[in-house]
Amino acid sequence: MPGPRRRSALVARLTGPRAGRSQAAILDDLRTCILDGDAPPGSPIPVDAVAAAFGVSRIPVREALMTLIGEGLVDHRPNLGYRVAKLTAEEFGEIYLVREALETAAMRVAIGQAGGEDDERAAAAHAVLEAAVRAGDGRAYHRESRRFHLALIRPCRMRRLLHMLGTAWNMTEPLQPMTHLGPADRELLHRDHAAMLAAFTARDADALIAACTAHHRRLQSYIALLPRDTGLFADSGGSVSI
């Protein structure tokens, strides 16, 4: 006898007036729900319920989900339907290595092209991140950390590189890794951020890359310790653990 159906966290998020949304808006809303961590890895995405929430047929919902499959944010399995994608722990670590390589390349260019306005944006992002650390708000820390990193790399103005970095970053967002860290770990990562900001505003490229490298090494060590029994990771055999 089948067990009770699991309620979709994603559908629960889709509240409020959404009827008549365009195809692009449906895609944006679904992507935002996933990236914000409101539908953790493995969450079911029932097409009929999503279509009802938007007041549309199944067709635009399926088209949006196919796009999200291409972005690595959604999986589709026979007899299981659509679900927020899971990564294996190994894949998760690999994506962080890709992020480090892309971010380092962007920073090397960005620091040579940055100006006073970029310094102000980076300092403002760091201040908001500081507030999240002091408040002990893991979700805010996770969100603002990305904004801070983006403030340091955006001056590179390398559109394709930034797109690749954003795609890689998005694939790790559903798990919200920074929310699984303790306050002491987030404090150490924030010290790295302070060193990165100081090097950026001083236009010291070598110091910036060194601080960024140390930061990513720390991230990798924390990622390796993330609990594997939460149901958020896929198993290493390639099948999705639910």
Confidence (pTM): 0.85
pLDDT digits (tens, 9 = 90+) for 95-147: 999 999 999 999 999 999 999 999 999 999 999 999 999 999 988 999 999 99
Q: At what angle do helices 47-54 and 23-35 cross, to 10 degrees?
A: 120
Helix, strand, coil % over all residues of the chain, rounded to 5: 65, 5, 30
Please list the pLDDT of the chain residue by residue as tens digits (242 residues): 343 444 566 777 676 555 566 788 899 999 999 998 888 898 899 999 999 888 889 999 999 999 999 999 999 988 889 999 999 989 998 999 999 999 999 999 999 999 999 999 999 999 999 999 999 998 899 999 999 999 999 999 999 999 999 999 999 998 888 888 889 999 999 999 999 999 999 999 999 999 999 999 999 998 888 877 777 788 865 443 33
